[in-house]
């Protein structure tokens, strides 16, 4: 009894170790059972998918239609130009007989410049690289860069200034459409319901466009001038 009393700490420690080992062994057994169960479910799933699979396309006759459609969609996405939508392009010549023509000026507006300060990267030292969209192309530029017929004179967070070859300066505002001093007009031919966009020097049913104002289009034919007023039928 005295020996037991002397070594009671060792006995308690030994009992605790035995209990801990038993718990770990039991837990490991459950984990192994759970792992085997998961593997079994995966095997069953793979077997089920393989068993239910049936070929719906004949690969020997070329790629499946779904792959062909996907490839076509991706190709169209890469070629699609999102930035040029909405631009009005004047028709230089509209060759339609003037007999029985009824014209109405729907609206006039300044012609979009076609250059947009679209994006920017501002570095820690304050320098800026800007993205400029022109027609269907995009350019990454900094101060002093040249692209198309322009040279970049100035860039900040909100504005970008360009200089044309003739020395004319253009100021762009970040993500805002810039316009020229030239007006374009939308004219409707009422008989055919055709809507056309014209600019100065365009030809329309034998008439030459001489000038476009805020609410009129001035045209001439064989030396005779005609003022087409906005909203009126001529």
For residue 233, the model assigns a pLDDT of 81
**DSSP label at 57?**
S
Name the band, by pLDDT with cuts 50, 70 and 90, for residue 14: low
Mean pLDDT of the chain: 72
Query: If one looks up domain 115-176 in CATH, what number appears?
Result: 2.30.30
- For the residues 99-111, what does the mean pLDDT come to? 85
- For the residues 179-188, what does the mean pLDDT come to? 92
Counting every residue, how long is the chain? 234
Q: Dump pLDDT digits (tens) for 155-173.
A: 999 999 999 989 999 999 9
Provide the percentage of residues in the chain whose pLDDT is more than 90: 40
Report helix, strand or coil for 144.
Answer: coil
166-186 in b/e form (b: 16+ CB < 10 A) is eeeeeebeeeeebeeeebbbb
CATH topology (fold) of 93-110+182-229: SH3 type barrels. (2.30.30)
Is 128 exposed, middle or buried, given 0-12, 13-18 or 19+ CB atoms closer than 10 A? middle
The angle formed by the CA atoms of residues 90, 96 and 100, to the nearest 5 degrees, is 120
- For the residues 120-125, what does the mean pLDDT come to? 92
Global pTM exceeds 0.75: no
């Amino acid at each position: 009894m005295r020996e037991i009393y002397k070594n009671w700490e060792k006995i308690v420690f030994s009992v605790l170790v035995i209990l801990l080992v038993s718990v770990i062994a039991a837990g490991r057994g459950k984990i192994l059972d759970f792992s085997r169960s998961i593997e079994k479910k995966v095997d069953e799933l793979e077997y089920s998918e393989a068993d239910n699979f049936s070929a719906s396309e004949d690969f020997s006759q070329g790629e499946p239609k779904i792959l062909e459609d996907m490839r076509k969609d991706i190709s169209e996405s890469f070629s699609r130009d999102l930035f040029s939508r909405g631009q009005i392009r004047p028709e230089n010549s509209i060759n339609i007989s003037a007999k029985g023509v009824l014209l109405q000026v729907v609206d006039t507006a300044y012609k979009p410049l076609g250059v947009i300060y679209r994006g920017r990267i501002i570095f820690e030292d304050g320098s800026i690289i800007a993205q400029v969209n022109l027609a269907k192309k995009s350019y990454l530029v900094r101060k002093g860069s040249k692209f198309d017929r322009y040279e970049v004179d100035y860039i900040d967070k909100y504005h970008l200034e360009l200089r044309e070859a003739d020395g004319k300066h253009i100021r762009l505002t970040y993500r805002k459409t810039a316009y020229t001093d030239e007006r374009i007009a939308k004219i409707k031919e009422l008989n055919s319901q055709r809507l056309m966009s014209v600019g100065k020097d365009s030809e329309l049913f034998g008439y030459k466009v001489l000038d476009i104002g805020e609410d009129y289009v001035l045209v001439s034919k064989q030396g005779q001038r005609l003022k087409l007023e906005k909203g009126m039928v001529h």
